């Protein structure tokens, strides 16, 4: 009965996501809420944790991005980026994920991607590049970056688990960093050849004919770049750089009192406060009316993503909270029988818990107990990019919403989404490359 119950619950989760995809927009979150209610009414399962931190990050970032857009900052950033990629516009498929990877690794959180997302979309569309390519790659690269970040929660977990073996963070980075960069380059090469060119995509052509999206180039050419636009863009970028530096250098984080104890402010909260402060500065210095921010296209699509995220992630968290013990124990037993399955277990647990840290804490000790070399375990660790296997992550939902061309999609079958191929390529190449490096340095 236990197995049947898990199957029925899983089928309901997938079915409700599929319904939400069919009705588009925030509907995926609305149907997710039905799923949470069904868990309580039918199975007496307590609702899982609400992803408020992720929702708050999206909300604060799109508030700052919306203010920047109204001031003309997006036009300025697009213009600057176009100078770099005008001769080779397809190169954004390489530049965008590598830049996202660097920023997210530096800050220790994939949430930095939200700040880069509007620029990646605008630049790719202005250059008539299928936005799905750089967007899907960049969103996924932001998650892969956490296994190459000296300051991520997942890295802290891995360092602690491997400390008794004498395997240090420098040894970990020597494997994960080059393997991840290789995975991004291979992924960009492959994805650059996937999907129809933008001017041949049926959904995009339908939206263009219905005037649901402006022709490429119009947004960048509609008005000249102003002093306010340039200042807004620089303020926005300064906020992003500050967040990255605060992730790397803890002394930059304000020290606050928590229950009488001094501690650094949580980086998630620092991101939220920084982006809202950036929005305030743009309003004060760039002639933007605060009340108009809600009318900005970036804010509109971002808030749709917030509702969608809350509902679908809440449902997924409820399912995992109810069945985590059974799932993790089953995968652990599989890994004991076939040690190479550690990578599969890391991928699967990350996909089901949407947490690299949870997968690390659950599976890495099993690998150590099996006597696997630390270098081998580290080589398989990037498989935690499996957090993007199911389209329930905030970054995925926000990316689909911001791509007004409709090229970035969650398919009717749910699993056939734009991020699936990058996830599989990154996993295969990063793990394969990591094992090759581990055989040399391990």
Phi-psi region of 160 (alpha: psi -120 to 50; beta: other; left: phi over 0): alpha
Q: For 239-248, what is the mean pLDDT? A: 81
pLDDT tens readout for residues 73-82? 877 876 776 5
CB within 8 A of 361, min separation 6: which ones?
Answer: 157, 161
pTM for the predicted model, two decimal places: 0.75
| Per-residue model confidence (pLDDT) at position 219 | 42
| Per-residue model confidence (pLDDT) at position 36 | 94
What mean pLDDT value characterizes the chain?
86
CB within 8 A of 13, min separation 6: which ones?
Answer: 35, 315, 316, 319
| Per-residue model confidence (pLDDT) at position 347 | 94
| Per-residue model confidence (pLDDT) at position 331 | 66
CB within 8 A of 22, min separation 6: which ones?
Answer: 412
Give dist(CA 346, CA 385) in Å, integer: 9
pLDDT tens readout for residues 169-183? 889 999 999 999 999
Q: What is the DSSP string of 340-377?
A: GGHHHHHHHHHHHH--HHHHHHHHHHHHHHTT--HHHH
Beta strands in 180-228 (DSSP E): none
Q: Quick check: helix, strand or coil at residue 46?
A: coil
Q: Does 251 or 191 have the greater pLDDT score?
A: 191
On the question of pLDDT at 1 being above 50, the answer is no
- CA nearest to 112, candidates 98, 100, 96, 128: 100
| Per-residue model confidence (pLDDT) at position 268 | 77
Give dist(CA 199, CA 341) in Å, integer: 42
Q: Does 5 or 136 have the greater pLDDT score?
A: 136
Give dist(CA 119, CA 173) in Å, integer: 29
The angle at the Cα of 24, spanning 195 to 194, to the nearest 5 degrees, equals 5
| Per-residue model confidence (pLDDT) at position 90 | 67
pLDDT tens readout for residues 381-406? 999 999 999 888 889 989 999 999 99
pLDDT tens readout for residues 130-160? 999 999 999 999 999 999 987 687 887 888 8
On the question of pLDDT at 85 being above 60, the answer is no
Q: Quick check: helix, strand or coil at residue 25?
A: coil
| Per-residue model confidence (pLDDT) at position 43 | 93
Q: For 205-233, what is the mean pLDDT? A: 80
The answer to whether the CB of 117 falls within 8 A of the CB of 402 is yes
Place of tokens 């409700």: 16
Determine whether 169 is exposed, middle or buried from the number of CB atoms within 10 Å of its CB (0-12, 13-18, 19+).
middle
| Per-residue model confidence (pLDDT) at position 137 | 97
What phi and psi values does residue 26 have, to the nearest 5 degrees?
-75, 0
| Per-residue model confidence (pLDDT) at position 246 | 83
Give dist(CA 196, CA 198) in Å, integer: 6
Determine whether 83 is exposed, middle or buried from the number of CB atoms within 10 Å of its CB (0-12, 13-18, 19+).
exposed
pLDDT tens readout for residues 37-72? 999 999 999 998 887 877 887 788 889 988 998 999
- CA nearest to 213, candidates 121, 308, 79: 121
Q: For 203-218, what is the mean pLDDT? A: 86
CA separation, residue 288 to residues 64, 301, 306 (Å): 11, 19, 23
**How confident is residue 3, by pLDDT bands cut at 50, 70 and 90?**
confident
- CA nearest to 109, candidates 307, 376, 431, 394: 394
Lowest-confidence region among 309-313, 375-379, 414-418: 309-313
pLDDT tens readout for residues 192-202? 999 999 999 99
What phi and psi values does residue 11 have, to the nearest 5 degrees?
-65, -40
On the question of pLDDT at 191 being above 80, the answer is yes
| Per-residue model confidence (pLDDT) at position 81 | 63
Give dist(CA 232, CA 274) in Å, integer: 14
């Amino acid at each position: 009965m236990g197995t049947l119950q898990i199957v029925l619950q899983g089928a309901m989760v997938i079915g409700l996501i599929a319904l939400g995809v069919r009705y588009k927009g925030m509907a995926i979150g609305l149907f997710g809420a039905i799923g949470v209610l069904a868990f309580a009414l039918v199975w007496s399962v307590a609702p899982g944790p609400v992803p408020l931190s992720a929702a708050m990050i999206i909300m604060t970032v799109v508030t700052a991005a919306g203010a920047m857009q109204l001031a003309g900052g997006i036009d300025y950033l697009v213009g600057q980026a176009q100078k770099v990629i005008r001769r080779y516009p397809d190169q954004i498929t390489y530049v965008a994920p590598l830049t996202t990877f660097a920023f997210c690794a530096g800050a220790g959180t994939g949430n930095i991607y939200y700040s880069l997302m509007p620029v990646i979309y605008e630049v790719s569309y202005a250059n008539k590049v299928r936005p799905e390519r750089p967007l899907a790659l960049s969103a996924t690269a932001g998650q892969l970056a956490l296994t190459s970040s000296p300051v991520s929660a997942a890295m802290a977990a891995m360092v602690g688990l491997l400390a008794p073996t004498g395997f240090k963070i420098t040894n970990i980075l020597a494997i994960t960093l080059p393997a991840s960069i290789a995975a991004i380059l291979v992924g960009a090469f492959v994805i650059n050849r996937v999907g129809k060119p933008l001017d041949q995509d049926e959904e995009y052509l339908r939206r263009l004919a219905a005037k649901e999206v402006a022709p490429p180039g119009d947004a960048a050419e509609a008005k000249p770049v102003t002093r306010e636009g340039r200042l807004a863009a620089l303020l926005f970028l300064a906020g992003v750089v500050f967040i990255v530096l605060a992730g790397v250098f803890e002394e930059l984080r304000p020290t606050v009192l928590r229950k009488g104890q001094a501690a650094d402010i949580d980086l998630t909260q620092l991101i939220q406060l920084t982006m809202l402060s950036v929005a305030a500065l743009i309003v004060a210095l760039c002639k933007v009316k605060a009340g108009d921010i809600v009318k900005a296209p970036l804010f509109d699509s971002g808030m749709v993503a917030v509702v969608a995220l809350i509902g679908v992630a809440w449902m997924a968290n409820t399912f995992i909270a109810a069945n985590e013990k059974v799932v993790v124990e089953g995968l652990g037993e599989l890994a004991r029988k076939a040690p190479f399955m550690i990578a599969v277990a890391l991928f699967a647990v990350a996909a089901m818990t949407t947490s690299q840290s949870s997968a690390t804490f659950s599976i890495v000790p099993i690998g150590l107990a099996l006597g696997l070399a630390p270098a081998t375990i580290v080589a398989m660790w990037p498989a935690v990019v499996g957090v993007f296997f199911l389209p329930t992550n905030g970054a995925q939902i926000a990316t689909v919403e911001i791509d007004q061309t409709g090229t970035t999609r969650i398919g009717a079958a749910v699993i056939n989404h734009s991020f699936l191929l990058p996830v599989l390529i990154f996993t295969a190449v990063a793990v394969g490359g990591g094992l090759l490096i581990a055989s040399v340095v391990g």
